[in-house]
Amino acid sequence: MKVISLGLGVQSTAMYLMSSLGHIERADYAIFADPGAEHPKTYEMLEWLVAWRFFNKGIPIYVEKKNLLRDTMRGTNSLGKKFVTIPAFSESGGMVQRQCTGEYKIWTVKDKVRELQGLKPRQRMKPCEMWLGITMDEASRMKESRMYNIEYKYPLIELRLRRSDCINFFKKNDFPIPIKSSCVFCPYHSDSFWKEIKKENGTAWKIAVNVDRKIRDASKRGSADKLFLHRTHLPLEDVQFADQIDLFEEECEGYCGL
């Protein structure tokens, strides 16, 4: 079984379209793990892609939903347990443990693969190729799978493609170009992203500000170790976002942003 991990960013969307059109080997399925917290433009891209697939005999797309926004506002994980799953910045230094990528993305895709394979609980997974949309300019993000019988594949790397090649593919075929996919309140955002959604002053910015306020006392030490979405430890609406190129090297790993 060959499965595209569809993040709805530039690379994974290009890989889906290339595979559907026969430019590369055809995958069997594409799975989008929807955390319920993407930018509205990403959900517009999903609507376009689902419609394109219907009229062009594209690879079947499965949308698997969880609600990271709701759970974060409640201060729980997806199982209802009290836990801060996003890697917010703490006043005591560093970031709290990140579990959102695994819980809301990787495990969600894995569970759907098991379902597609017709497996019962505790049955071993059958061999599966998981296609990840990483290009040559992001080759450092490549990883070996730690999951039983799931092998990560990087078709765009094999083709020696860069992100710019994917964008040219969209332009050449008159396809809409996706924005970078990520939760709108992800603490790994660059200042340029925060500045852009603040300028839009739309749903994405309002959600991020509300989440930033909500997590303030959500650490294990509560108000004694406050949490923030921005590394300056300031409320998001008070941050003066930098104009220069962001040099913060951390990023959301796994399937986010692909």
Within a domain: 225: yes
Q: What number of CA atoms fall less than 13 Å from residue 134's CA on the CB side? A: 16
Within a domain: 176: yes
Q: Look at 250 and 116; give whichever has higher pLDDT.
A: 116
Burial class (CB in 10 A: 0-12, 13-18, 19+), 115: exposed
Within a domain: 254: no
Within a domain: 158: yes
Averaged pLDDT of the chain: 90
Is the pLDDT at 57 greater than 90? The verdict is yes
| Residue 8: per-residue pLDDT | 95
- Taking a C-beta distance cutoff of 8 angstroms, is the pair 16, 59 a contact? yes
Region 234-256: mean pLDDT is 68
- Taking a C-beta distance cutoff of 8 angstroms, is the pair 49, 32 a contact? no
| Residue 251: per-residue pLDDT | 52
Within a domain: 132: yes
Within a domain: 129: yes
Q: Look at 239 and 255; give whichever has higher pLDDT.
A: 239
Is the pLDDT at 253 greater than 80? The verdict is no
| Residue 252: per-residue pLDDT | 57
At residue 59, the 3 state secondary structure works out as coil
pLDDT over 90 percentage in the chain: 70
Is the pLDDT at 249 greater than 90? The verdict is no
Phi and psi at residue 254, in whole multiples of 5°?
A: 75, -130
Q: Which of 42, 49, 87, 16 is closest to 181 using CA atoms?
A: 42
Within a domain: 251: no
Is the pLDDT at 4 greater than 60? The verdict is yes
Q: Return the number of other C-beta atoms located less than 10 Å from residue 30's C-beta.
A: 26
Number of domains in the chain: 1
Is the pLDDT at 215 greater than 70? The verdict is yes
Within a domain: 246: no
CA atoms of 110 and 64, how far apart (whole Å): 11
Domain span including residue 18: 2-238
CATH code of the domain covering residue 85: 3.40.50
